[in-house]
Amino acid sequence: MYPGNFVATTPDKAAIVRPATGESLTYRQLDENSVRLAKYLRELGLKPGDHLALISDNDLRVMEVYWAALRSGLYITVVNWHLTASEAAYVVDDCGAKALVVSANAVNAVDLSAGAYPNVEHRLVYGGELSGFEDYQKALDRFDTAPLDDQPRGQDMLYSSGTTGRPKGIKPKLPDGQVQDIPDPYTAVFAPMYGFDSDTVYLCPAPLYHAAPLRFCGTIQSVGGTVILMDRFDAEEALALIDRYEVTAGQWVPTMFVRMLKLPEETRAKYDVSSMKVAVHAAAPCPPRSSGR
C-alpha cells in the first residue's frame, strides 16, 4: 500500500499534522504533491535507479519528497541536517545524488560554495530562498495531478551517523513492482506486528533523517493512518500531543522515556495518555525500573 491508495476512500483525512505550525496534509494533498514532484523529476531526466538526496528539518514536505521518490523508482537519502555543510555534502556526493532538495531552515547543513555537489544536476529549496536553488512550490505548480501510469517502487538508502569514520550507506536492490501493488518490507513486517491500520494515530517525536522515524511514518501512511510530527522532542509537549490527538502509537528512544518520567508527578497527571496502545523503543536497551517509579 501507499498513500495514493487512500485518495478514493479518505481523501480529506489528515495523513500528517505538524502541531508546531498548525500545518497538515490530507491524503489527497500528499498524493497530489508527490505526483507533481515525481513528474518534475521525470522531466529532468531522472529514471529508476537514480538517486535523490534531501536535507531538511521536520517539515511536512519531507514526506512529499519521500513518496515522490518511492513512486518514481528512485533511491532517496535523507541527510542529517545537524551535520556541518561539508559533512552533509560528503553524504550527498557519496550516494551519487543527481537531484537535491533542501529546506531553507536547514541551511547550516547546505554547502552554498562554488563547486559544491559536483554530481548534483538539479536543486530545489522550500521554506525560503537559496542561491542556485529552484523554488520547490513553483516547480510543483508546473505539473498537473493526474495519476502516473508507471510508478516503479523506489527505496530509501540511509546513512550511519559516522561515529566510526565517515557516514556509511548500503545500497539495497530496488523492489520489483509498482508502488501501488507491492508493500514495502517495513509495512509488511511492522503493520501486523504492532496492529497499525487506518485508525492508527502515530506520534513521531524524532528527526526524520533517522531510519526508524522516517520508515515508521511511511508505514503509517501506507496503511492510511495519521502521523503527528513534532519539530523536536519535548517531554511535556509529547504528553500533551498524545492527549490532544488521542495518539495510539509512537516510536521512542530510552532517553525520551527518562525525560518524561523525570517530569513532576503533577505535570504528568495533567495529560490523558490512555489512548496509547503501542510504544516502540529502539536505539538502546531501556534501563531497569528504578525504585519509586
Query: In this structure, what DSSP letter does residue 152 have?
Result: B
11 lies in some domain:
no
Both 38 and 148 in one domain: the answer is yes
Contact 205, 58 (CB under 8 A): no
Both 178 and 207 in one domain: the answer is no
142 has a pLDDT exceeding 50? yes
Sign (positive or negative) of CA dihedral 84, 90, 91, 92: positive
234 has a pLDDT exceeding 70? yes
Hey, what's the torsion of the CAs at 274, 280, 283, 289, to 10 degrees? 50
Contact 258, 287 (CB under 8 A): yes
Which stretch of 2-11, 62-71, 82-91, 278-287 has the lowest confidence by average pLDDT?
A: 278-287
Whole-model pTM: value is 0.94
- For the stretch 159-179, pLDDT in tens is 987 777 788 998 999 999 999
3 lies in some domain:
no
* Number of folded domains that form the chain: 2
Q: Which domain holds residue 251?
A: 184-293
Instruction: Calculate Rg over the CA atoms of the chain.
Output: 19
Identity at 104, one-letter amino acid code: A
Helical (H) or strand (E) element with 229: strand 226-229
8 lies in some domain:
no
293 has a pLDDT exceeding 60? no
- pLDDT at 289 (0 to 100): 65
